[in-house]
Amino acid sequence: MPRLAVGRRRVNRVATISVHTSPLDQPGTGDAGGMNVYIVEVAKRLAEMGIETEIFTRRTARDLPPTVELAPGVLVRHVTAGPYEELDKEDLSGQLCAFVSGVLRTEAAFEPGRYDVIHSHYWLSGQVGWLAKERWGVPLVHTMHTMAKVKNLLLAEGDRPEPTVRVLGEEQVVQVADRLVANTAAEAGELIELYGAPEERVTVVNPGVNLTTFRPGPKDAARARLGLPPGAHVLLFVGRIQPLKGPDTLLRAAARMLEEDPDLRRRLVVACVGGPSGNGRARPSHLVDLAAELGISDVVRLEPPVPHDELAGWYRAADVTVVPSHNESFGLVALESQACGTPVCAAAVGGLRTAVRDGVSGLLVEGHDPRDWARALRRLLDDHGLRAAMSRAAGEHAAAFGWSATAARLAEVYTGAMAELHRTPVVVNL
């Protein structure tokens, strides 16, 4: 019987598509978040492996240069598509034709075969990648990061459901992508069950953490730099301020804790590091107002987003990092915190079930009842032995998630997709 022999093709250059958010943006504000971190860290690690990456993103200011070298082997290309200002993601679908045109014109300026594979991030980018794949004859690898059908099943109070146009767009991308990269096995299951993705085209690749930036350090020194009392009980929230991320759950839990133990007020600090995003931009003062309504303004400290080296200091200064999201495809904040030796109290949803080892490196809480969260947080604050054990385990758990491993696994996904696309039957005499 004849069989197929498939040669392995090397990946030299990846076209990464990130329509709605730039890798140059500060994570924690606007639409910039874990996806930005993912794209930047993977691109840098791929470059270290000798694989160049060109990241196509939308130009949001007239004075932005056409290209920016993010790192050796990593180039950001600004594509003019729509007005020079930040647009809501819901408005970007109307700019996809212009974005596609810019991407195709860029490739046409070079010799054919400049890009070996396309990696698109989020459904809007997948739509662009779909057309580019057809024009260039290269495989499309797609990462959802979040999915409309999943979000609509887990909506926070006051949050809007994702529109039908996004659901349909995601279904189309699932149909045409050569490979679908899921952050966790749970996400892979959602792609297969909710979107009908062929199982053989879904691959699980865990995101990572920058273990050089996020590492344990002296708590007292970190607190001194941030103006936090050395003996305080510090609960930390990091992320975009929007209903999906659930910061209100933390504030309501803190209010519950103070109601049950008024003496705790002398030591409790609830720090929130991040900026309004998504639906949260409609109510930028929401957390300030909620803290006042709950009578806990004196213990709440709101801080703007900060660069990663400063963010690591916040993690080290905290006793517990709280991640009360209603949905997370993975939860990089949880991993970053654990890498700094700080245990996590997180919602038992999505990728957080993978990012946190329940009962070992932190606690997972079912639902969003403030009473349950108050109970879990008091357990971590009151039991110093438990917190110390979880701190040690947190660092060990996070150490298994390096970005180099993520990039290496993605390179395998790329070469596999390329080999399948270019497979030719070779008759081998047996």
Which residues are annotated as part of the binding site?
20, 26-27, 31-36, 89, 122, 146, 166, 240, 245, 306, 315-316, 318, 328, 336, 342
The position carrying tokens 């949803």 is 349
The DSSP symbol for 325 reads: -
Neighbour order of strands in the sheet with 268-273: 300-303, 268-273, 233-238, 320-323, 344-347, 362-365
The position carrying tokens 């910061």 is 247
If phi > 0 it is left, if psi is from -120 to 50 it is alpha, else beta; for residue 113 that is left
Q: Which two tokens stand for residue 132?
A: 């580019």
- Which residues are part of a known binding site for UDP-N-acetyl-alpha-D-glucosamine? 26-27, 34, 240, 245, 306, 328, 336
CA distance 381 to 383: 6
What residues have CB less than 8 Å from 417, skipping those under 6 apart? Answer: 117, 139, 140, 141, 178, 179
**Residues 274, 279, 281, 286, CA torsion sign:** negative
- Which residues are part of a known binding site for Mg(2+)? 315-316, 318, 342
Q: How do beta strands 74-79 and 67-71 pair?
A: antiparallel
CA nearest neighbour of 345 among 331, 136, 172, 209 = 331
Which helix (H) or strand (E) element contains residue 336? helix 332-339
Residue 262, judged by CB atoms within 10 A of its CB (0-12, 13-18, 19+), counts as exposed
CA distance 17 to 105: 14
What residues have CB less than 8 Å from 163, skipping those under 6 apart? Answer: 90, 148
Quickly count: other Cβ atoms within 10 Å of residue 10's Cβ: 11
CA distance 180 to 129: 13
- Which residues are part of a known binding site for 1D-myo-inositol 3-phosphate? 20, 31-36, 89, 122, 146, 166
CA distance 107 to 135: 10
Quickly count: other Cβ atoms within 10 Å of residue 156's Cβ: 20
CA nearest neighbour of 336 among 218, 205, 214 = 214
Q: Which two tokens stand for residue 48?
A: 């270290």
